[in-house]
Amino acid sequence: MSGSKPTQNAGVPSNKIKMSPLKSTQNAAASPNKIKISGSKPIHNTTTSSNKIKMSRSKSTQNAAASSNTIKISESEPIHNTATSSNKIKMSRSKSTQNADASSNKIKMRGSEPTQSTAASSKSTASSNISQPRQRMAQNYLLIWVDASIDETTKDCQNTLVQLKSVVNDVNICTEPDQCVQALNKVDKEQAFVIISGSLGQHLVPEIHGMPQLDAIYIFCGNKSRHEGWAQNWTKIKGIHTNIKDICQALQLAVKQCDQDTIAVSFLTRNEIASTDNLNQLEPTFMYTQLFKEILFDMEYEEKAIKDLAVCCREVFTDNTIELKIINEFERDYRPQNAIWWYTRECFTYKMLNQALRVMNADIIINMGFFLRDVHQQIKQLYEQQVSSYGRKPFIVYRGQGLMKPDFEKLQKANGGLMSFNNFLSTSKDKEVSLEFARRASSKPDTVGILFIMSIDPCIKSTPFACITELSYFEAQEEEILFAMHTVFRVSAIKQMDNKNELYQVELELTSDNDQQLRLLTDRIREEAGGGTGWQRLGNLLLKIGQFNKAEELSNVLLEQTSDARERTHYYNQLGCVKNSQGDYEKAIWYYEQGLEICQKTLPSNHPDLATSYNNIGSVYHNMGEHSKALSYYEKALEIEEKTLPSNHPSLAISYSNIGSVYIKMGEYLKALSFHEKALEIRQKTLPSNHPDLATSYNNIGIVYDHMGENSKALSYYEKALEIRGKSLPSNHPSLATSYNNIGSVYDHMGENSKALSYYEKALEIQQKTLPSNHPLLAASYNNIGSVYDNMGEYSKALSFHEKALEIRQKTLPSSHPDLATSYNNIGLVYDNMGEYSKALSYYERAQDINQRTLPPTHPHIKITKENIEIVKKEIINNKR
């Protein structure tokens, strides 16, 4: 049976009940997994012997805890104490990854929101677009070499690789066309260059030419004239070459253009900057490069920072002999006074920094922190030496580059608004040099060539810049002006230069110190990192952007270095947040309890920091499925907050939300709805309309309605949550996975299997990129996908996904966790549908054993599983007759 029709149809004695998707309310990075059972139940027609009728899920039976096989993910919100203050920062961690209340069969994610109170602070913005690439990429591009005759054991091939790696560090070798296609399909944020042998090119080029991630193709052959005819039909073929030296020279030009085109930029429209309350609508790269810059520039670095960077770079440039020699030279000879010389050298310093800032790779940015600071300081010193030579007169500089069409559309919308370059910005006083870069970019498909004409007032001291001609690694023939990192301009005009080509002139004006909008915006962004030392603010930032491994490493180091009670509490809470987010619940409780013990010894009994600790411990028990313990801690937190905080304080919203999420797990949906609506009311009064915490509340209310069988209301709330998250979070943020999962659960209940499967797979794709392989949320997605395949009658696929879910849960959850009951129940359903009733009975009984130990006796799951057991027993008896 795959369909799940309600078995609350009392007149049909043989009906079997499938529990419906669990919804989870977990919010981002930390948050309890809640599994909810919404009640759609499949009906087995046992009166006619073993024939099974799959009935589509009835929405009316999704009431209360009952539920079909999906898990909705709810988001619980931990709060962290801060090191230097009791202010609480709410971090909207990945709401999407937690299993929601208890449930039996499917996992819908719901939103319970972690609220971390970190070093000083205000509310955190969602989460950043800091992403960890598939591997540590050194550059914004990679090279694929395709030739059936490649033999890496030969000297000739090894020499060729050395030459290619001197230009592009990441070289993929393919001996078959299909391998090339697969490699290109895996390219995410980079551009790809392809070298193809003449014999394979004629057949492979048509297959790959339209891929947007493919920048250029070079034909490598022994007879140039043989391929000139067909090659001229393909615009991405940039040359036909008979020796590797010529290809490397062509690649160097392409790489330089790619570096020019891929500098990290952000655009802010006038509407986005009209109110400082709308920080969560800003592009994450704008916010987080500003924060990284200010924090990293404020920190003190030890001498070993140079060695640490060299170690990091050697890991990236393994087997690149040329680059490894330069890294050794850097470690030996680097001094702050030659930072610009190293930045302008076309080696690992520029390549890695450009790529890391574009994809917000926190690990590399932090390792290069001292280098960023040194380059900035040298620009600042040169500015002070050179500013008098400009005679207080504005002047013009130029920059030519390409923008992908989606980015150009953002630029057009930002006319009159702001544009930031989130790296150090290289410009020229030579218009023709810059125009050539723009022209070359305009010849690429899906790319617009831009000539930026920048009006610079030398009296604006807030943005230092300098002529670096004499300090550059190259003896520059043009006069190069280098601007400090994260320079912000006003977009004053956009004009098309050439009607035939995609070539535009964009006029920019350097923003001044007294630009009121920018000043207010910058002040709000600074609040996001809280107070404290540079290292403490960096730890807070890493938590906000989901860089948990790096946050853990940093917090452990800082914990060892301090004896201050409040600071130690702060670091214990940060480590608890990390472990909670990673699904390591036992360690999370240990860290949180260390922080609580310090608070109990040093603070009065009604201090808000105690409420923070109680809330955080409750969030872990929530994730562990220990609902009564979670509720007890949440209520302790709420009792303190109601006595000490204003009625609309954000921490009250967190506590209401967390208590509501526990009631969902306990199947008390009306109570749950009441608490989630209280949380929403506070947030609507105190937060901007696109704040991620509002998305959490909408998500959690959607879960309640989902469990109550009100599909249209549930879908409406889930879609509100998704809309906010889509605007305020990076594309791979776990909270988006939560939203996709929960929307999928509604379509699952409605019997729209293909839509449900599509949303579940979107959720799984994000989770596989961002979560550890044994994270409970992955189990939730495997569970939900398995239930859809069960509904579709594809039982072997269903069983495979349910077994993946069970394997993760058995490894990571306590033996009586309700999610294990969900897995046992759902595997039982598959065997039931396959007619293997003895196996089905065994799994149903395992599920019921956990249900009876962990759920109230009136919980719908107990009734559902009991009915399924009775029906299977009848099937077994019928088969024996």
242-256, 466-480, 608-622, 683-697, range with the lowest pLDDT: 466-480
Element (H, E) at 879: helix 860-880
DSSP 71-122: EEEE--------SS-S--------GGG-B-SS-SSEEEB---------SS--
Q: Tell me the two tokens of residue 518.
A: 């920018």
- At residue 773, the pLDDT reads 86
Spell out the residues 6+ positions from residue 44 whose beta carbon is closer than 8 angstroms to its own.
1, 14, 15, 16, 52, 53, 832, 871, 875
What's the rounded mean pLDDT across residues 663-691? 92
Residue 530 pLDDT greater than 90, yes or no: no
Distance from the Cα of residue 608 to its chain's centroid: 31
Name the residue type at position 638: L
Reduced to 3 states (helix: H, G, I; strand: E, B; else coil), residue 179 is helix
Q: How far apart are CA 322 and CA 526, in angstroms?
A: 41
Residue 711 pLDDT greater than 90, yes or no: yes
Look at phi and psi of residue 117 and say left if phi exceeds 0, alpha if psi is from -120 to 50, else beta: beta
Burial class of residue 346, CB neighbours in 10 A (0-12, 13-18, 19+)? middle
- At residue 780, the pLDDT reads 93
Residue 524 pLDDT greater than 70, yes or no: no
With pLDDT > 90 as the criterion, what percentage of the chain qualifies?
46
Residue 127 pLDDT greater than 50, yes or no: no
Strand partners, 216: 193
Q: How far apart are CA 624 and CA 515, in angstroms?
A: 50
- At residue 726, the pLDDT reads 84
Q: How far apart are CA 673 and CA 156, in angstroms?
A: 70
Q: Tell me the two tokens of residue 240.
A: 């036909």
Alpha helices in 516-626 (DSSP H): 516-527, 534-544, 548-561, 565-581, 585-602, 608-623
- At residue 486, the pLDDT reads 86
Residue 6 pLDDT greater than 50, yes or no: no
What class has domain 141-261?
Answer: alpha beta
Summary mean pLDDT of the chain: 80
Q: Are 540 and 547 in contact (CB under 8 A)?
A: no
Residue 115 pLDDT greater than 50, yes or no: no
Q: Which of 857, 855, 793, 791 is nearest to 822 (CA)?
A: 855
What's the rounded mean pLDDT across residues 481-496? 92
- At residue 536, the pLDDT reads 77
In this prediction, residue 296 has a pLDDT band, given cuts at 50, 70 and 90, of confident
- At residue 284, the pLDDT reads 57
- At residue 279, the pLDDT reads 46
Q: Which of 511, 507, 424, 419 is nearest to 459 (CA)?
A: 511
Residue 107 pLDDT greater than 50, yes or no: no
- For residues 642 and 367, the model is more confident at 642
Give the residue range(s) of CATH 1.25.40.10 domains in the chain: 21-125+570-791+798-880
The HSE-up count of residue 1 (CA atoms within 13 Å, CB side) is 35
pLDDT digits (tens, 9 = 90+) for 270-285: 776 654 444 444 555 6
Q: Most confidently modeled of 99-113, 115-129, 198-212?
A: 198-212
Reduced to 3 states (helix: H, G, I; strand: E, B; else coil), residue 503 is strand
What's the rounded mean pLDDT across residues 503-517? 80
- At residue 130, the pLDDT reads 29
- At residue 408, the pLDDT reads 92
Q: How far apart are CA 762 and CA 765, in angstroms?
A: 5
Q: How far apart are CA 781 and CA 773, in angstroms?
A: 12
233-247, 752-766, 851-865, range with the lowest pLDDT: 851-865
Q: Most confidently modeled of 414-423, 508-517, 615-624, 851-860?
A: 615-624
What dihedral angle (degrees, nearest 10) is formed by the CA atoms of 184, 185, 187, 191? 50
What's the rounded mean pLDDT across residues 485-501? 87
Q: 3.20.20.70, 3.90.1150.10, 3.40.50.300, 1.25.40.10: which CATH number matches 21-125+570-791+798-880?
A: 1.25.40.10
Q: Are 90 and 31 in contact (CB under 8 A)?
A: no
- For residues 632 and 78, the model is more confident at 632
Q: How far apart are CA 87 and CA 535, in angstroms?
A: 18
Residue 367 pLDDT greater than 90, yes or no: no
Residue 133 pLDDT greater than 60, yes or no: no
Strands 141-146 and 106-108: unpaired
Q: How many CB atoms lie within 10 A of CB 685?
A: 10
Residue 625 pLDDT greater than 50, yes or no: yes
Spell out the residues 6+ positions from residue 832 whose beta carbon is closer than 8 angstroms to its own.
1, 16, 44, 840, 868, 872, 875
Q: Are 467 and 386 in contact (CB under 8 A)?
A: yes
With pLDDT > 70 as the criterion, what percentage of the chain qualifies?
79
Q: Are 139 and 555 in contact (CB under 8 A)?
A: no
108-122, 185-199, 220-234, 737-751, range with the lowest pLDDT: 108-122
76-85, 214-223, 552-561, 585-594, range with the lowest pLDDT: 76-85
- At residue 111, the pLDDT reads 36
12-21, 386-395, 442-451, range with the lowest pLDDT: 12-21
- At residue 631, the pLDDT reads 96
Q: Tell me the two tokens of residue 408.
A: 């150009």
Residue 476 pLDDT greater than 70, yes or no: no
What's the rounded mean pLDDT across residues 668-679? 96
124-138, 189-203, 475-489, 551-565, range with the lowest pLDDT: 124-138
Alpha helices in 489-533 (DSSP H): 516-527
Sign of CA dihedral 220, 225, 231, 235: positive
pLDDT digits (tens, 9 = 90+) for 425-446: 999 999 999 999 999 898 887 8
What's the rounded mean pLDDT across residues 338-344? 94
Q: Tell me the two tokens of residue 127.
A: 């989460």
In this prediction, residue 131 has a pLDDT band, given cuts at 50, 70 and 90, of very low
In this prediction, residue 50 has a pLDDT band, given cuts at 50, 70 and 90, of very low
Reduced to 3 states (helix: H, G, I; strand: E, B; else coil), residue 818 is helix
Measured at the alpha carbon of residue 357, what is the angle toward residues 276 and 134, in degrees to the nearest 5? Answer: 120
What class has domain 393-513?
Answer: alpha beta
Tell me the angle at which helices 284-298 and 534-544 cross, rounded to the nearest 10 degrees: 160
- At residue 274, the pLDDT reads 57
Spell out the residues 6+ positions from residue 115 whose beta carbon is closer than 8 angstroms to its own.
77, 78, 79, 80, 88, 89, 90, 91, 615, 650, 651, 654
> Strand ranges (DSSP E) for 711-866?
none
Residue 98 pLDDT greater than 70, yes or no: no
Q: Are 150 and 121 in contact (CB under 8 A)?
A: no
Give the residue range(s) of CATH 3.40.50.2300 domains in the chain: 141-261
Give the residue range(s) of CATH 3.90.176.10 domains in the chain: 393-513
Q: Tell me the two tokens of residue 187.
A: 């390219």
Q: How far apart are CA 192 and CA 146, in angstroms?
A: 13
Q: Which of 847, 859, 849, 801 is nearest to 820 (CA)?
A: 847
Q: How far apart are CA 28 and CA 525, in angstroms?
A: 20
Reduced to 3 states (helix: H, G, I; strand: E, B; else coil), residue 139 is coil
